[in-house]
Structure 1
Amino acid sequence: MAARYWLAQLVRAVIAFAAGFAITLDQDHTAGYGIAMFAAFAIVGGLAVAGFFFVTDAGDRALWLVQGLLGVAAGVVALIVHSGGLGALLYGVSVWALLTGVAELYGGWRARRARGSDTGSASAARDRLAVGGLTVALAIVYLVIPAEHRLAVGLFGAYAIVIGVYLAIGALSLKWARPAETADETTESHA
């Protein structure tokens, strides 16, 4: 799985960067803009995650599908309640972040337990645990921050950029680690 997982992480990183940079570079930090950006991020990211058909383990595939569908559903609901203002943004992001963060944490824990010593799989599992933890942290932050739209939208943009950086680094680390691992395995088999 790790051989193809790097590309999936890179796709997720690009989606996160797009949302984060759009928020950062735009001066419109109203609740409506935040809801629109969250909806786009959740729907596109959810579709990307739900499309991880390369995953061979049925349990992992089901987790990715559930996580993706949660994202799409949260994005669609955000579009429906677009006029709900700041409350809709805070509530929508909190619920989405909690549900998808817990799903990602569980997937990372499950992958780490099942695959143990395989370096690529262990790295992918560690990345899922970190992203899940950061996403749950976003849910908690959204529950305790003051109800202010610039802060809420800005924090979501910051979250997206941090996740994008983390996923991009993880993706490239997995990609570049694979040839070295394969070369090591080949050298050991010839010895």
Structure 2
Amino acid sequence: MVNAPAATAAERRYWTVPIGRAVLALIPAAVITFNADHSPELGLVAFGAFAVLSGILVAVGSWLTLGDARARTLFLVQGIAGVVLGALALAFHSGGLGFFLYLVSVWGAVTGFLELYSGTRARGKSASARDWMSMGALTAILALVFLILPPHAVVSVGLLGAYFVVLGVYLVIGGLSLKWASTPAAATSVAKDSDIS
């Protein structure tokens, strides 16, 4: 019982993680949208930068704010996968369309599944569960689309940009919803409940 108030206080700060991810998604979305060059090289650089920075944010932010040890571990693995695959994209940014499609597909499959699984596990226990399931499903769908889509650089890079837009907007809504759910009145109520215990 002693650890419960500390975990609750830490989890109230979790809203910063989706907001940070939203910013990191909307930047490459803007770069892709307003750039006439939809080459695989642009796709690899935009994806790589997002995957590395988002991976670091997910791993560190989730580790510091989530109370559930398994959820922390799953998001740590998700973050590490993002950093590794993003670093590969940046290191081999001239790898061509096939390499771009392969990396995004692998990243989407791994991170999408992990986030979807985290949300399914946390259903009924965490306010973030629905958002995790939605974002995980969206990312897994991106992986499937990249696997079945006929190879075309403009379409594929444009699709990645569209994914970043949808992800960024959804994360902003989810993050602000979490922030507003942890109002001072809610925090006072939690504090009073812990005092009674």
Give SS of 1:4's match.
Answer: coil
Contact 1:2 1:174 in 2 (8 A): no
Give the superposition deviation at 1:111.
1.4
For residue 56 of structure 1, give the secondary structure of its aligned residue in structure 2: coil
Aligned mates of 1:9, 1:108 — CA distance in 2: 14
Q: Which is further off, 75-84 or 165-174?
A: 75-84
Alignment-mate amino acid for residue 186 of structure 2: T
Q: Does 1:176 align with 2:180?
A: yes
Cα distance in structure 1, aligned partners of 2:163 and 2:104: 11
Runs of 4+ in 1 over 6 A off after TM superposition: none
How far off its partner does 1:181 sit? 6.3
Distance 1:173 1:158 in 2: 23
Give the number of the structure with larger relative contact order, counting CA–CA contacts within 8 Å between residues 6 or more apart.
Answer: 1
Residue by residue, what CA displacement relative to the aligned partner does 1:156-176 show, whole Å, maximum 9, x if unpaired? 000011000000001111111
Counterpart position of 1:80: 91
Partner of 1:22: 31
Q: Which of 48, 70, 81 is the equivalent residue of 1:39?
A: 48
Q: CA separation in 2, counterparts of 1:2 and 1:128? A: 15
Q: Normalization by structure 2: what TM-score?
A: 0.86
Select the structure that is richer in helix: 1
Q: Percent of pairs identical after alignment?
A: 48
1:61 aligned to 72, 80, 84, which one? 72
Q: How many aligned positions are there?
A: 181
Q: How many angstroms apart in 2 are the aligned matches of 1:167 and 1:150?
A: 26
Match of 2:60 in 1: 51
Q: How far did 1:81 drift?
A: 2.8
Q: Tell me how far apart the structure 2 counterparts of residues 13 and 2 of structure 1 sit (CA, whole Å).
A: 18
Local SS of the residue matching 2:78: helix
Cα deviation, residue 139, structure 1: 0.3
Looking at structure 2, the residues matched to 174 and 181 of structure 1 have their Cα atoms a distance apart, in angstroms, of 14
CA contact 1:13–1:163 (8 Å) conserved in 2:
yes
Q: Are 1:49 and 1:64, in contact at CA under 8 Å, matched by a contact in 2? A: yes
Q: Following TM superposition, by how much is the alpha carbon of 1:185 offset from its aligned partner in structure 2, in angstroms?
A: 3.9
Deviation sequence 1:24-82 (CA, Å, 0-9, x none):
11111101111111100100110111112222222111111100000001011112332
Q: Distance in 2 between matches of 1:71 and 1:151?
A: 23
Q: Structure 1 residues 141, 56: closer, same or farther in 2, change over 3 A?
A: same
Q: Within 2, Cα distance between the matches of 1:110 and 1:61?
A: 12
Which residue is equivalent to 1:104? 115
Q: Which runs of 5+ in 1 are unaligned?
A: 116-120
Is the 8 Å Cα contact of residues 11 and 65 (structure 2) preserved in structure 1?
Answer: no
Bigger Cα displacement from structure 2, 141-150 vs 174-183: 174-183
**d(CA) in 1 for partners of 2:15 and 2:185?**
15
CA RMSD for the aligned pairs? 1.8
Relative to the length of structure 1, the TM-score reads 0.88
